[in-house]
Amino acid sequence: MATSNVKVLGAWPSPFVNRVRMALKVKSVDYELIETNPHEKTELLIKSNPVHKKIPVLFHGDKRICESLIIVQYIDEVWTDGPSILPSDPYDRAIARFWAAYIDDKWFPLFQLLRDAQGEERKAVVEKISGGLLLLEGAFVDCSKGKAFFGGDNVGYLDIALAGCVGWMRASDILLGAKFLDETKTPHLVGWVGKLYSDSSVKDLMPDPHILIELYKKFQAMSEAASE
């Protein structure tokens, strides 16, 4: 279902913004991306999300919705003509929400710690990230029921929740040589990532990790120059 009154306030490298864009793509909803620097608290951002002052923000007509996973659920409930994003079964839906919350609250924040950690501290953070991937490997087995995605045959809620983070995880992997996704330890997740990069509904929104690395180095250099 196409529409012309949908806008997304965000930045393409953001894993959280890409979740929203993936959900809109799954539902075939036309939208405009309003590019904004996530490090700048613009007047529009503060007005649109006065509580957290973070991207993304979804504008649907005169409505404003904040927080990526809440936005994804909103998209699924509003545009019912497209494929369902959340599982139809109440138990499966609860499990998907549980793991999505784990990703946001426990697992992905470790990458922020990884950026600043050194030596033994960095090693410990890498181990925690890898341990979290083992848990998510088990979650994939349980949720996918032997199919291609967490959501079954098609990209679903938990796929979108984790897929938004994959680009930055792969970038960190390259920078550190950590090999977070290991075919011997997490074979299902390795296969899942491969399918994401070839699936028509999300492949165009899966960022190249090498581009993310260059972007990270650019911002790091700017930050160091500003602190001198």
Q: Are residues 101 and 41 in the same domain?
A: no
Q: What CA–CA distance (Å, rounded) separates 22 from 142? A: 23
**The two structure tokens encoding residue 105:** 């609250």
Q: Are residues 207 and 126 in the same domain?
A: yes
Q: What CA–CA distance (Å, rounded) separates 1 from 88? A: 20
**The two structure tokens encoding residue 166:** 């994959």
- pLDDT computed for residue 143 by the predictor: 97
Q: Which amino acid is it at 133?
A: L
- pLDDT computed for residue 220 by the predictor: 76
Q: Which of 58, 78, 98 is the last residue of a domain?
A: 78
Q: Are residues 146 and 186 in the same domain?
A: yes
- pLDDT computed for residue 76 by the predictor: 98
Per-residue pLDDT of the chain in tens (228 residues, 90 and over written 9): 444 699 999 999 999 999 999 999 999 999 999 999 888 889 999 999 999 999 999 999 999 999 999 999 999 999 999 899 999 999 999 999 999 999 999 999 999 899 888 999 999 999 999 999 999 999 999 999 999 999 999 999 999 999 999 999 999 999 888 889 999 999 999 999 999 999 999 999 999 999 999 988 887 776 666 665
Q: With contact defined as beta carbons under 8 Å apart, do 149 and 155 qualify?
A: yes
Domain membership flag for residue 1: no
Domain with 53, as residue range(s), is: 6-78
